[in-house]
Amino acid sequence: MGNDADRYRRYLDGDDNGIVEIIDIYHEGLTFYLNSIVDNICVAEELMQETFVRLAVKKPRFNGKIYFKTWLYSIAKHCALDYLRKSSKMADFPIDEAFQMSDEEDIERQYLKEEQKIELHRAMRRLKPEYAQVLYLMYFEDFNTAEIARIMKKSKRQIGDLLYRAKKTLKSELEKEGFVYEEY
């Protein structure tokens, strides 16, 4: 099922570079996905690391029936759910601290883009957790509905309905704050 599955097989066959490549590819996206579940970027980073530790230590079997990325994100989701079950206390870490403004020629335009991202993430944090998850998986990680259904353990129809309600709710949240999308 593609290069990532081959990288994992290489790792299982003794080539440590395979797991290093997988970590390089997925660590950032996985962290932001996990943050959509636990709502704490520091914990999300720890859970991302735990996900890769599980791959490295337990070496779960990948059967190739689904995409490797879908399989990996399912493992990460289980790590997050285990954490939530064990933890009753969650600390807040503002998502806007995760975004750093870059030094480009048009600072004002970059600033506005960053502010829009921050407002989008704030609005997503106000959504029900499963709304935030489905939106994140669809639009930030480019999963299709079948892959999201597998990760979230729902039917494709349920994901379609969930996605519709999540977009409608997100739009409403953004409009409450006076958010206006401007294309650059």
Is 101 inside any structural domain?
A: no
Mean pLDDT (the chain) is 80
Q: What is the CATH number of the domain that holds 166?
A: 1.10.10
pLDDT (tens digit per residue) in 72-88: 998 998 888 888 888 75
pLDDT at 52: 92
For residue 119, tell me if it sits in a domain.
Answer: no
d(CA 167, CA 57): 38
User: Residue 123 is encoded by which pair of tokens?
Assistant: 């609005």
80 and 155 fall within a common domain: no
Instruction: Output the DSSP codes for 68-119.
Output: HHHHHHHHHHHHHHHHHHH--------GGGG------S-HHHHHHHHHHHHH
| pLDDT above 70: percentage of residues in the chain | 80
159: number of CA atoms within 13 Å, CB side? Answer: 20
Segment 134-155 mean pLDDT: 89
pLDDT of res. 158: 93
Q: Is residue 171 part of a domain?
A: yes
Whole-model pTM?
0.58
Q: Is residue 81 located within the same domain as residue 137?
A: no
- pLDDT band for position 163 (cuts 50, 70, 90): very high
Q: Find the Cα–Cα–Cα–Cα dihedral 139, 56, 154, 88, rounded to 10°.
A: -90
CA distances from 184 to 19, 161, 174 (A): 38, 31, 19
Residue 116 within any structural domain of the chain: no
Please give the tally of structural domains in the chain. Answer: 2
Which domain covers residue 71, as residue numbers?
Answer: 3-86
Count of residues making up the chain: 184
Question: b/e string for 56-86 if b means 16 or more Cβ within 10 A?
Answer: eeeeeebeeebbbbbbbbbbbbebbeebbee
Examine residue 29 and state whether it is found in any structural domain, yes or no. yes
Task: Give the Cα separation of 121 and 180 in Å (integer).
Answer: 15
Would you state the pLDDT for residue 51?
93
**31 belongs to a structural domain:** yes
pLDDT in tens, 34-53: 988 888 899 999 999 999 99
Structure tokens at 161: 């309905």
Tokens (6 digits) for 78: 């289980």
In a domain, 95, yes or no: no
What gap in Å lies between CA 156 and CA 135, rounded to an integer? 14
Give residue 147's identity as a one-letter amino acid code: E
Q: What letter does residue 136 receive in the DSSP assignment?
A: I
